[in-house]
Amino acid sequence: MFSEAGLSVSLRVRDGAVAAALIRSTRMVQAARLFAKRPPTEVLHLLPTVFSLCGTAQAMTGLNAMEKAAAITASPAQKAARTLLVLAETVTEHGLTIARDWPALAGGQPRLDHAKRIRGALAGLRGTLYPQGDWLSPGGGTLTADCDRICAAIDQARQAITQLMGHDIDELVLPIAFQAWLERDPTHLPGLVQAKGWAGIGAAPFLPMPEMGPPDLAARMATDRDGQYLARPDCAGRVFETGSLAHWSWHPLISDLMDRFGAGLLPRLAARLVALAEGLREMEELVRDLKPEPACSLPGLSGEGLTLTEAARGLLAHRVVLNDGKISQYQILAPTEWNFHPEGPLVRALHGLPADPDLEWKVRLLINALDPCVACAITLE
């Protein structure tokens, strides 16, 4: 029987506060080892299905790693198309969380109609860019630059998000507009969090992931014989946080909120909105870099490739070793292994939370804000 992988968080309460948070994971962090001996095309076909939650980011990171190992450089237009697809997935994932999960976490009903509209708007982008279906062709597939259709899809997503939020998303991430929105509509999760005085819950020492990833990433992955690093990554003992807050902490809205609330719940929720707004804006800019191109082919080369992608949930790393065009090693390090590390950002955020009647609700909010890619159970001890 194939059990669904997941996370569990056990909280130990002493003297009216969380004294310890224990995270257990059944995630299959070494499963990618079985990609060894398979041809790259087969693995590229499997990646978006097997890792479907961030399937585009997983497939693109794998494709980029294979190209790096084979010393192939994709053209600027191909890179723009790939970034567009990853951003479409990021926007969709954040949109789904905000439409489906946030209302439920605030005690309301999921807004599935909005969730469906956001997803539907961007779902056809892959087929528009690569109508022959060869989007995962090493070196680049047959790229079609139907800019009008792509812009229309982005605009549809923008309209669906505006309707969901009741506000233009670009304006919403301006500090003054955000504050006014919070006060005007306390039924939205961020408004509720502010009204309840929970904006700063979970604030703890903030260790954001460096923009280019951990400096020792390549060496640690290359020497990770038993998979310990993939399961519990660190950098000289530090466990970084990755994801929206870490990536957008410099943004004026997030910087303002972190000045007031630290790395607490409200800045985390706001960082998801910033990721959504900035993702849409970058997509619109990338359309200009597209141009039609024929497909390329992957020569049977040998080499090693490590690539990083800022995916919806944070930094995703794939490392591949090719021998004569065949895969001999494959490793994946996903953002959840950082954020839900037994000594990582979730544990830091939970430590010291008061054990009041709302404790489980607050824990669920913090878990959702850090956004695991698997189900996460909570137990109180």
Among residues 336, 347, 353, 369, which is the contact residue for other proteins, using CB under 8 A? 336
By the rule CB under 8 A, 50 interacts with other proteins: yes
Q: Which of 9, 11, 21, 29 is close enough to bind other proteins by CB under 8 A?
A: 29
Q: Which residues are registered as beta bridge partners of 24?
A: 8
Q: Report the alpha-carbon distance of residue 96 to residue 182 in Å, rounded.
A: 20
Quick check: 46 binds other proteins (CB under 8 A)?
yes
Q: How far apart are CA 372 and CA 381, in angstroms?
A: 22
Q: Does 374 bind other proteins (CB under 8 A)?
A: yes
372 binds other proteins (CB under 8 A): yes
Q: What are phi and psi of 210, to 5 degrees?
A: -60, 145
Minimum CB–partner distance for residue 375 and other proteins (Å): 4
> Which of 20, 39, 49, 252 lies at the binding interface for other proteins (CB under 8 A)?
49
Query: Which residue, 116 or 149, is less far from other proteins as judged by CB?
Result: 116
Q: Amino acid letter at 274? A: V
Task: Give whole-number Cα distances, 83 to 8, 289, 306, in Å.
Answer: 33, 11, 17
The single-letter DSSP state of residue 168 is: -
Q: Give min distance, CB of 109 to other proteins, in A.
A: 12
The Cα-based distances of 108 to 100, 111, 185, 265 in angstroms read: 10, 9, 14, 19
Q: Is 378 in the site for other proteins (CB under 8 A)?
A: no
- Give the binding-site size for other proteins (rule: CB under 8 A): 36
Residues facing 270 on adjacent strands:
none
Taking CB under 8 A as the criterion, the residue among 71, 112, 151, 176 binding other proteins is 112
CA distance linking residue 244 with residue 310, whole number of Å? 9
The residue among 154, 134, 150 whose CA lies nearest residue 142 is 134
* From 119-127, 149-157, 169-177, 300-308, span contacting other proteins (CB under 8 A): 119-127
- Taking CB under 8 A as the criterion, the residue among 8, 10, 13, 31 binding other proteins is 31
SS3 assignment, position 68: helix
DSSP 41-92: HHHHHHHHHHTGGGHHHHHHHHHHHHHHHTT----HHHHHHHHHHHHHHHHH
Stretch that binds other proteins, among 116-124, 209-217, 236-244, 254-262 (CB under 8 A): 116-124
Rounded Cα gap, residues 269 and 31, in angstroms: 32
Q: Using the rule CB under 8 A, is 324 a contact of other proteins? A: no
Contact string 70-109 vs other proteins (x = CB under 8 A): ------------------------------x---------
Q: How is residue 293 written in tokens?
A: 């191109």
Which chain residues interact with other proteins by CB under 8 A?
1-5, 27-34, 42, 45-46, 49-54, 100, 112, 115-116, 119-120, 123, 332, 334, 336, 372-375
